[in-house]
Amino acid sequence: MREELIISGRNNPMVDPVLNIWHWQIPLYLFLGGVAAGILFFASLYFIMGREKKYPAAIKWAPFLTPFLLVIGLGALFLDLNHKAFFWQLYLTFRIESPMSWGAWILMVITPLSIVWCATWIKELKPGWHWKYPFLDQWEAFFKKHRLIIAWIMLISAVILGVYTGILLSAFNARPLWNTSILGPLFFASSLSTGAAVIMLMAKSHLERNIFSRIDLILIAIEMFLIVHMFMGFQASTQVQIDAANMFLGGAYTEVFWIFVVIIGLLVPAILEILELLGYKIPIIITSSLILTGGIFLRFVIVYAGQASRYLY
C-alpha cells in the first residue's frame, strides 16, 4: 500500500484539500458568453449571406439579448476576481500565450459591437423609437451603412469567443481533465447549439424555426461525437488522464454528466427535434430549455470536475 500525505498541515484556503478556486461565476460566464457567441455567430453569418428577410429572429431579434448576456457574464467574471481593484491590469497588456488575456480583449471587442449591432436594428423592432440626442442618429446612419464590416468583425470575434471558453481550460497543464484540445471545439459546438436554441425560441416563422432545429440537430451530433472522442483520448492517454475520465465513467460525476448533460441536454432534445421534423407538434420551449439546461450543466460539470482532477497525491 502506498500513501502520500502532507504532514506539515498545509491547509491553504481554496487550494486544499482539493482545488476550489473557481466557483459558480466561471461556469456561469462560460455559459452566457457561449450563448452570446452562438447568437452573434448566426446573426453575422446569415447577414453576410444576405438572409435578412428569411431569418429575422437570428439576425435582428435574438442579438438584442446578447449585450445583457455579455454584461452579466462580465459581472460574474469580475466577482470571481480576488484582487478586484486591479482588474484594469488586464487591459494594459496583451499576452498571446494566455487564453484569459485573449478572452479579456475579445470581450472588449464583441460587447460594444453587439450593442452597435442592436442599435442599427432598434427602429425595426420599435417603430416609434427615436434617439434622445441627434448625434446618435448620425452614428446610427454611419453604422447602418457599414453593417457588413461590423458583421465580419462580429463573426470572427464570435468564433474566438466560443472557442476560447474551452481553450481557457485546456491551457492548464495541471488538470488532466481540462488538458485536452477537444474542449475548444466541444465548447464551441455547445455554444452554437445553445445560441440556436435561443433563436428557435424567438423565431416567429415556422421556416426559421425548422432551419435552426436542423442546425441544432447537426450540432448535437457533433457534440456527441466530440464527447466520445474526448473519452477515447483520455482512455488511450496517461494514468492521470484515465483517472480523470473515470470520474465520469463510474466516479463522482457520472450521474450528473450522463443524466443532465448527455440525456437531458443532448439526446432528449435531439429526439424532440427529429419528431418535430417528422411533423409532430412539440412545444419549442421544451426543446430549447432542455438544450440550455444541458449547456449550463456541461460548463458546471467540466469546471468543477476539472478542479478535482490532478497529478499529485
Partner 1 sequence: MRLAMAIDTKKCVGCSDCVVSCQTENSVPIGYCRDWIVEVNDGTYPQLEMEIRSERCNQCSNSPCVRCCPTGASHYDYGGIVLVTPHKCIGCGACISSCPYDARYPHPKGYVDKCTFCVHRVKEGLPPACVAVCPTKCLYFGDTDDQRSEISLVLKKRKYKRLIPEAGTNPNLYFLI
Task: Give exposure, 83-101, as e/b (b: 16+ Cβ within 10 Å).
Answer: eeeeeeebeeeeeeeebee
Q: Is 53 in the site for partner 1 (CB under 8 A)?
A: no
If the CB atoms of residues 5 and 278 are measured against partner 1, the closer one turns out to be 5
Q: Of these, 50, 53, 83, 278, which contacts partner 1 (CB under 8 A)? A: 83
> Exposure pattern of 201-226 as b/e (b: 16+ CB <10 Å)?
bbbeeeebbebbbebbbebbebbeeb
| H helix intervals, 203-310 | 206-235, 239-246, 254-255, 268-277, 284-308
Q: For partner 1, which is the closer residue by CB, 157 or 241? A: 241
Residue 14 Cβ vs partner 1, minimum distance, rounded to whole Å: 6
**Residue 160 touching partner 1 (CB under 8 A):** no
Q: Which is nearer to partner 1, 19 or 282 (CB)?
A: 19
Q: Of the listed pieces 44-52, 78-86, 256-264, 289-297, which binds partner 1 according to CB under 8 A?
A: 78-86
Rounded CA gap, 14 and 229, in Å?
A: 32
Binding of partner 1 by 99 (CB under 8 A): yes
CB 169 within 8 A of CB 183: yes
Maximum Cα–Cα distance across the chain: 78
Q: Which residue type, as a one-letter code, is found at position 186?
A: L
Q: Which three cell numbers stand for residue 192?
A: 452554437
Contact 39, 65 (CB under 8 A): yes
State which of residues 50, 53, 85, 132 lies at the interface with partner 1 (CB under 8 A): 85
Query: Which residue among 24, 48, 98, 251 contacts partner 1 (CB under 8 A)?
Result: 98
- Should residue 255 be labelled a site residue for partner 1 when binding is judged by CB under 8 A? no
- The amino acid occupying position 216 is D
**Any contact of residue 109 with partner 1 (CB under 8 A)?**
no
H or E stretch covering 89: none
Binding of partner 1 by 1 (CB under 8 A): yes
User: What DSSP assignment string belongs to 181-203?
Assistant: TTHHHHHHHHHHHHHHHHHHHH-
Which 4-43 residues touch partner 1, going by CB under 8 A?
4-16, 19, 21-22
Q: Is 129 in the site for partner 1 (CB under 8 A)?
A: no
Contact status: 79 vs partner 1 (CB under 8 A): no
Q: Which is nearer to partner 1, 9 or 134 (CB)?
A: 9
Q: Decide: is 281 part of the binding site for partner 1 (CB under 8 A).
A: no
Decide: 5 and 59 in contact? Cβ < 8 Å.
no
- 174 lies in the site for partner 1, by CB under 8 A: yes
Q: According to the binding rule CB under 8 A, does residue 237 interact with partner 1?
A: no
181 touching partner 1, by CB under 8 A: no
Is residue 100 a contact point for partner 1 (CB under 8 A)?
yes
Binding site for partner 1 (CB under 8 A): 1-16, 19, 21-22, 80-87, 89-90, 92-93, 95, 97-101, 103-104, 171-175, 238, 306-307, 310-313
